[in-house]
Amino acid sequence: MRQIDHFMPTASPAPSRKAQVWNPSTGEIQAEVALGDAALLEQAVATAKSVQPEWAATNPQKRARVMFKFKELIEANMQELAELLSSEHGKVVDDAKGDVQRGLEVIEYACGIPQVLKGEYTQGAGPGIDVYSMRQPLGIGAGITPFNFPAMIPMWMFGMAIAAGNAFILKPSERDPSVPVRLAELFVEAGAPEGLLQVVHGDKEMVDAILDHPDIPAISFVGSSDIANYIYHRGAENGKRVQAFGGAKNHGIVMPDADLDQVVNDLTGAAFGSAGERCMALPVVVPVGEDTANRLREKLLPAIAALRIGVSNDPEAHYGPVVTPEHKARIEQWINVAEEEGGEIVVDGRGFSLQGHEDGFFVGPTLIDHVTTKMTSYQEEIFGPVLQIVRAKDFEEAVRLPSEHQYGNGVAIFTRNGHAAREFASRVNVGMVGINVPIPVPVSYHSFGGWKRSGFGDIDQYGTEGLSFWTKNKKVTQRWPDGSPDGGNAFVIPTMG
């Protein structure tokens, strides 16, 4: 059986604990991954501390060249990375390529680090006084990443952190750990010093060790909201800078004037793509008015019936299996709950079996109508190929539903009315808004982050916000006197007047 170890330059004792890595398409265990502990983390931190100062002293042009080479290597190895990713996660290969590509876009932004790292300068802020600022690295950053985007989210984190001059320790999900290790290998091949990017595997024991380690000043996390809340507060109590992004229940508002054919096309991809295992999936559709709801439902049925579920390497499949048998059982239990609470199961994906792959972790597409805000299946994240219809009587209710939900990650509105779209975008209490865009993940030179229980901490990921998170801003006020007394009073606070 294949063994997946930590990516560290230093030798470490053989791990006593391991986790199983499934092949979701077949239901077979394909590998074992080592689970580290606090002692192993200590080795990783010691290595990071030894290489980080020289990397920070390397001029940003040379750091950018490493990022450029890394970008080239990812592009050259795209097919390998996508196939490896899909074999452990279950998403189809084309979707896995999208996972890698969206992470690569942040690497492309990081290639411009000489430009984005520039500080500010004011000449003559006072008599003979100049003021300037510089952004300096924090030292060692850490990232704790989820199973659903094992390429994209690690690159979102370490791309900006390392380009800014930090070393980085990555703790990926133990469910699909191979791609993060392969990315670290390619990073060394690109010219990065060994030990600058390390990958340590583990469970809660490793997470707590990262949260408690005094030499890791900043941590980025993506996962469920309960764990995000835990990580944010424990990290903050230890004096760390923490950004922790949690769950989501993204809504798609469908106005009466929307192009329903386009909406259905967008919804089927956003709700069922990647088997719904996306924090930016669209699992709730909110048609405004009964007529809109009835017309939308009628158009959704044939579109859902046409979806092809297949193994991860099936080029004709729209989506593949979910990641583990436990997650499959959890999704189907949520469908049970929705039915018990009074939801109408219009299309039932429970008990789906793929011929020839009966042991795979497949869940069929599910459509549930007449869902209400009091149902726990609406209030909580299902994270599977389940689309719920919540009918709104008017525009005001459509604004209120996502605004009052505990999660505030993403939302979309489908309409031809510019005023309605502008009003919705301005008023809705959600961090990322799409207007006729079902999955509004911002481009790499903006930033990513949700509100409420979707995001803990004050700074978003990547873009200029990411640069701010992984650096500290030093301000310098300087004067070069000409040797003559200026007659000032040394005992009062200086002013620039």
Provide the token pair at 142: 């850490």
Provide the token pair at 162: 């390392």
Given pLDDT bands bounded at 50, 70 and 90, which one contains residue 243? very high
Distance CA 199, CA 158 (A): 11
Distance CA 387, CA 39 (A): 44
pLDDT tens digits, 53-88: 999 999 999 999 999 999 999 999 999 999 999 999
pLDDT for 12 beyond 70: no
pLDDT for 482 beyond 90: no
Average pLDDT over residues 453-474: 96
Round the average pLDDT of the chain to a whole number and report it: 96
Radius of gyration of the chain (CA): 25
| Eight-class DSSP state of 219 | E
Given pLDDT bands bounded at 50, 70 and 90, which one contains residue 485? low
Q: What is the dihedral of CA 46, 47, 53, 55, to 10 degrees?
A: -160
Sequence-distant (6+) residues with CB within 8 A of 434 are: 410, 411, 412, 413, 440
CA distances 442 to 199, 295, 432, 449, Å, are: 27, 31, 8, 9
Average pLDDT over residues 161-165: 98
Sequence-distant (6+) residues with CB within 8 A of 201 are: 4, 5, 6, 19, 33, 34, 35, 36, 171, 172, 174, 177
Residue written as token pair 């002692």? 39
Residue written as token pair 């031809």? 416
pLDDT for 495 beyond 80: no
Sequence-distant (6+) residues with CB within 8 A of 205 are: 35, 36, 37, 38
Q: Report pLDDT for 497.
A: 65
pLDDT tens digits, 397-413: 999 999 999 999 999 99
Pairing of strands 366-369, 386-389: parallel
Specify the 3-state DSSP secondary structure of 103: helix
Distance CA 441, CA 448 (A): 7
CB 230, CB 242: distance < 8 Å: no
Distance CA 172, CA 174 (A): 6
Give the rounded distance of the alpha carbon of 270 from its chain centre.
Answer: 16
- Catalytic site residues? 279
Q: Report pLDDT for 402.
A: 98
Residue 90: phi, psi to the nearest 5? 110, -15
Average pLDDT over residues 304-309: 98
Q: Report pLDDT for 487.
A: 53
Distance CA 85, CA 171 (A): 16
Given pLDDT bands bounded at 50, 70 and 90, which one contains residue 28? very high
| Eight-class DSSP state of 492 | S
Q: Report pLDDT for 179.
A: 98
Provide the token pair at 160: 């900006």
Distance CA 343, CA 388 (A): 9
Residues of the chain above pLDDT 90, percent: 94
